[in-house]
Amino acid sequence: MMQETGNQMGQTHMHQRVPFNDTVLKDYHLTSTDIEKFVKLWQEYQMKNMTPQVDECQGYCQGEIYNWLRAYNSIHGYVSLMICIFGTIANILNIMVLTRKEMAKTPINNILKWLAVADMFVMLEYIPYTSYQYIYMGPGEKDLSYTWAVCLLVHMHFTQILHTISIGLTVTLAVWRYVAIRHPNGGCANFLLAHSREAILLPFILSPILCLPTYFVFQVRETYDVDKVNSEAMYHVYFDKDSVLYRFNFWIHSVLIKLLPCGILIVISAVLMHVLCEASRRRLKLRDYNNPAKYAIQLNLNETKSKKPPRCDRRNDRTTLLLVAVLVLFLITEFPQGLLGLLSGVMEKCFFAHCYPPFGELMDLLALINAAVGFVLYGLMSKQFRTTFRSLFMKRHFGSTEMTRLTRVTTTCV
């Protein structure tokens, strides 16, 4: 009987639930601080006795080149800020010159004008970003506020859209020049000439659509420090590396936006260079036009008189050479970015986590240089650009006769 009574009392105590509150803690002489210390010691014990995990990305992207990249990253803020200030002023000057009446008559100059507009806004937006991220904040310092996380997200989307617009305008420029040289009197050339505004507007419409997956891959995420009791909320731009959308976005960005335009530009640049070589050979044949006897021997006595190459042909060659320089500079800038994006999509986590970040600042530098040197290229390689610039900023009536002649040549040469 006593055993049964003891069992019943034991079962009663077993089924009775005692609330776990501060009163109970005081009865056992325990406080909340003691519980927190115990939990912290238990976590430290688990961390010390945890078996070390092998890093699957160990050995990725090591060497002297990465030491150089990290050394450059420490001065990237000042270098990029100087380039952005120069590039912004240079692109404003480009827009002012290319919008002049004598320059705005050709579709190619209109494409270059809108290309300068896109590049100018890229640099204007990059100035506050690099000033705060690389100059105002010290090395290793991070701003984990919600405002800065949103600013980073806006910076990422804004620059990608504008950069994609620049890529589209560059491809349009190359295609336009190819058609003007290969089929100057064909139906395609007439169609492009009649729809030049639509051709320029197309990259501004397609670029936000092509960048659509990026809007869903990256987002602002709120986190807390588990080692602190009353830790404040931390915000950063987050992306899920294991998601299908993340990998799909890398393929879109690297192949469709970067590598495919680079492939098109390589083919068109090769064709334009071939045209320049043919024009150079023609000039060599006609160089001795003052010596009819020598020229007749070279042509197997079929002709006894030669002509000097038309001024329009020489001007077309200079324009083609200028555009080839623009395309080659674009390829130097964009092809490495597309290649890095493709490798990140193929090798996935390890390459993107360890190899891609050190190249980030260098890729930004190349893109900024590409957007800033247009003014230098136009000034060095285009006589019409130089003449218009001098007439606009130096002397109002400088070269009025020359400007009239250049305008007449521009309207007759495509």
In a domain, 16, yes or no: no
Please list the residues that pair with 236 across neighbouring strands: 221
**How far is residue 345 CA from its own chain's centroid?**
17
| Mean pLDDT of all residues in 250-273 | 85
Percent of the chain having pLDDT more than 70?
A: 71
- 63 C-beta neighbours (distance < 10 Å), count: 7
In a domain, 233, yes or no: yes
Reduce the DSSP state of residue 221 to 3 states and report it. strand
Question: For 187, phi and psi rounded to 5 degrees?
Answer: -65, -30
Whether the CB-CB separation of 375 and 90 falls below 8 Å is answered with yes
**What is the domain extent for residue 369?**
64-290+316-395
| Mean pLDDT of all residues in 352-381 | 84
Percent of the chain having pLDDT more than 90?
A: 21
Question: For 234, phi and psi rounded to 5 degrees?
Answer: -115, 140
Whether the CB-CB separation of 237 and 152 falls below 8 Å is answered with yes
pLDDT of amino acid 303? 46
- Of 187, 190, 192, nearest to 173 (Cα)? 192
3-state helix vs strand vs coil in the chain, percent to 5: 75, 0, 25
Q: What is the mean pLDDT of the chain?
A: 76
- Following CA atoms 67, 70, 75, 80 in sequence, which dihedral angle do they give, to the nearest 10 degrees? 120
- 178 C-beta neighbours (distance < 10 Å), count: 20
Q: Report the domain count for the chain.
A: 1
Note the pLDDT tens digit of each residue in 7-32: 444 444 444 444 545 454 455 566 76
In a domain, 195, yes or no: yes
Note the pLDDT tens digit of each residue in 176-200: 888 887 777 777 778 887 888 899 9
By CB neighbour count within 10 A (0-12 exposed, 13-18 middle, 19+ buried), where does 139 fall?
exposed
In a domain, 39, yes or no: no
| Mean pLDDT of all residues in 61-69 | 79
In a domain, 11, yes or no: no
Range of lowest pLDDT (100-109, 236-245, 348-357, 395-404): 395-404
Q: What is the CATH number of the domain that holds 230?
A: 1.20.1070.10
- Of 330, 66, 337, 31, nearest to 172 (Cα)? 330
Range of lowest pLDDT (5-19, 247-261, 339-353): 5-19
Question: H-type helices in 32-106, by residue range?
Answer: 32-49, 64-73, 76-98
From CA 165, how far away is CA 169, in angstroms rounded?
Answer: 6
In a domain, 252, yes or no: yes
pLDDT of amino acid 208? 93
- Of 192, 183, 342, nearest to 260 (Cα)? 342
In a domain, 189, yes or no: yes
pLDDT of amino acid 1? 47
Q: Which one-letter amino acid corresponds to residue 247?
A: R
pLDDT of amino acid 16? 46
Contacts of residue 334, defined as CB under 8 A and 6 or more positions apart, other chains included, come to: 167, 258, 261, 262
DSSP assignment string, 149-173: HHHHHHHHHHHHHHHHHHHHHHHHH
pLDDT of amino acid 195? 84
Binned at pLDDT 50, 70 and 90, residue 336 comes out as confident
pLDDT of amino acid 233? 82
Range of lowest pLDDT (207-216, 257-266, 285-294, 303-312): 303-312
Residue 165 to residues 160, 172, 178, Cα–Cα distance (Å): 9, 10, 20
- Of 71, 151, 169, 159, nearest to 115 (Cα)? 169
Note the pLDDT tens digit of each residue in 26-36: 555 667 677 77
Contacts of residue 283, defined as CB under 8 A and 6 or more positions apart, other chains included, come to: 309
Binned at pLDDT 50, 70 and 90, residue 306 comes out as very low
Reduce the DSSP state of residue 219 to 3 states and report it. strand
From CA 337, how far away is CA 362, in angstroms rounded?
Answer: 10
Which contiguous run of DSSP H or E holds residue 31? none
| Mean pLDDT of all residues in 61-85 | 87
Range of lowest pLDDT (5-19, 75-89, 209-223, 368-382): 5-19
| Mean pLDDT of all residues in 91-103 | 91
| Mean pLDDT of all residues in 83-95 | 94
Largest CA distance in the chain: 141
Whether the CB-CB separation of 112 and 94 falls below 8 Å is answered with yes
In a domain, 307, yes or no: no
